[in-house]
A = this chain, B = another copy of it.
């Protein structure tokens, strides 16, 4: 059966035409787009998608969270749905590939299945998730669909409650509708997403397709190195308890530690706050914003212990006290083996090289990974540019990604 399906390909020119039309909506004139959630440009893009779905003869669907979909009946009305998708919103002055490519590829897969009259075990849905980028909440549409969205999330959203209220009114939605968008486990056969890499690993390795092993988790801390404020003139160097030394030594050593012992992880010291913070006073306290990411839950525990031990050691070396405030975590989302294998087989069948890698950035798939099998693929980003008008992926790579998505769907869902 798979032998028959192996010859199907998406239509590159049709996908390019759609992609280009979409890229013009909210275009910033420098190759990028500016489509923050529920901005005029974003609403215009959503309107265009609805029309494009209807032009294609697919069924347009929407839910209370503002997610817009193309639906294609490939099995019975009550068969589970295999979701494909991404998002049309962008960061402010972002690129035209992030999200948009995934939605256009998903739609192109449905068009291809439809025109070839392929029968599957599942129905297909190409979805544009609401507010992936977090203008309002972040992963909003996918969290709502997965039933993870709470009143609390809506009460204190990352973009401010006022912006959320204004935004959802513009989209003719409400808090109540948002919370009503949850779907049942039974209704979903899986979720597959194509995205640009947002990094240089594929480009550097000269590999066509990245098969995501996991979307990394994030742990964050506020670390306080505490010494003593002293006169920066009359206190000799040896008599100081200078909080800047512990913070600086930790920042350097944390990077060394991760690069040497945790090559799959990243660490960031995004900010230091000095107190009292004057030219002529030895710093009494430095508060440091620490974040680290890992694709693996067990590795997180080891990295966490190693970083906190390192902070203690560096504080102790300079006679400082250390206070640690744990600010929370997101667990890593493991991509499903069945989906990863389908992507790998699809790549092999298409003669495309592939590599397994983790996603350092968050994606809608992480909302869904406890609900259904989830998988993602990345295509190479030129110079790794992302969240920038410089974002660019060669069209050939976009086509490759869409064909891998199609072939993986057929492998997972062939009747």
The SS class assigned to the A binding surface is: mixed
Option from B272, B291, B293 in Cβ contact (under 8 Å) with A274: B272
What per-residue 1/0 map shows which CB atoms of A297-310 lie under 8 Å from chain B?
Answer: 00000000000000
Residues of chain B within 8 A of A291, CB atoms compared: 232, 279-280
Residues of chain B within 8 A of A386, CB atoms compared: 231, 234
Considering the chains assembled together, what is the distance between the CA atoms of A245 and B291 in angstroms?
15
Do A270 and B274 contact each other (CB < 8 Å), given the known contacts A234-B198, A235-B199? yes
Is A281's CB within 8 Å of the partner chain B?
A: yes
Residues of chain B within 8 A of A237, CB atoms compared: 255, 258-259, 266-267
State how many angstroms separate the Cβ of A319 from the closest Cβ of chain B.
13
Is A359's CB within 8 Å of the partner chain B?
A: yes
State how many angstroms separate the Cβ of A310 from the closest Cβ of chain B.
14
Q: Give the residue name and chain of the B residue nearest to A362 (CB).
A: B233
What per-residue 1/0 map shows which CB atoms of A340-380 lie under 8 Å from chain B?
Answer: 00000000000000000001111000000000000000000
What per-residue 1/0 map shows which CB atoms of A246-278 lie under 8 Å from chain B?
Answer: 011101100100110000001111111010011
Do A233 and B361 contact each other (CB < 8 Å), given the known contacts A245-B251, A248-B249, A252-B252? yes
Residues of chain B within 8 A of A269, CB atoms compared: 244, 283
A279 pairs with B268, CB closer than 8 A: yes
Q: Give the residue name and chain of the B residue nearest to A232 (CB).
A: B268
Residues of chain B within 8 A of A198, CB atoms compared: 231, 234
Is A289's CB within 8 Å of the partner chain B?
A: yes
Is A216's CB within 8 Å of the partner chain B?
A: yes
Q: Which of A259, A270, A280 has most chain B Cβ within 10 Å?
A: A270
Residues of chain B within 8 A of A216, CB atoms compared: 233
What per-residue 1/0 map shows which CB atoms of A224-243 lie under 8 Å from chain B?
Answer: 00000001111111110010
B266 pairs with A271, CB closer than 8 A: no
B359 pairs with A266, CB closer than 8 A: no
Considering the chains assembled together, what is the distance between the CA atoms of A252 and B249 in angstroms?
7
* Count of interface residues, chain A, beta-carbon cutoff 8 Å: 54
Residues of chain B within 8 A of A272, CB atoms compared: 244, 272, 274
Do A248 and B252 contact each other (CB < 8 Å), given the known contacts A234-B199, A234-B361, A291-B279? yes
Considering the chains assembled together, what is the distance between the CA atoms of A247 and B270 in angstroms?
13
Considering the chains assembled together, what is the distance between the CA atoms of A251 and B240 in angstroms?
14
Considering the chains assembled together, what is the distance between the CA atoms of A245 and B244 in angstroms?
13
A220 pairs with B252, CB closer than 8 A: no
Considering the chains assembled together, what is the distance between the CA atoms of A274 and B269 in angstroms?
10
Within 8 A of B (CB), among A158-204: 197-201
Residues of chain B within 8 A of A258, CB atoms compared: 237
State how many angstroms separate the Cβ of A255 from the closest Cβ of chain B.
6
Residues of chain B within 8 A of A242, CB atoms compared: 255, 268
Residues of chain B within 8 A of A199, CB atoms compared: 234-236, 239
Is A387's CB within 8 Å of the partner chain B?
A: yes
State how many angstroms separate the Cβ of A198 from the closest Cβ of chain B.
4
Option from B248, B270, B279, B293 in Cβ contact (under 8 Å) with A271: B279
Is A218's CB within 8 Å of the partner chain B?
A: yes
State how many angstroms separate the Cβ of A149 from the closest Cβ of chain B.
21
State how many angstroms separate the Cβ of A240 from the closest Cβ of chain B.
9
Interface of A toward B, CB cutoff 8 Å: 197-201, 216, 218, 220, 231-239, 242, 244-245, 247-249, 251-252, 255, 258-259, 266-272, 274, 277-283, 289-291, 293, 359-362, 384, 386-387
What are 5 A-B residue pairs whose CB atoms fall within 8 Å in the complex?
A201-B236, A234-B359, A234-B386, A237-B266, A270-B280
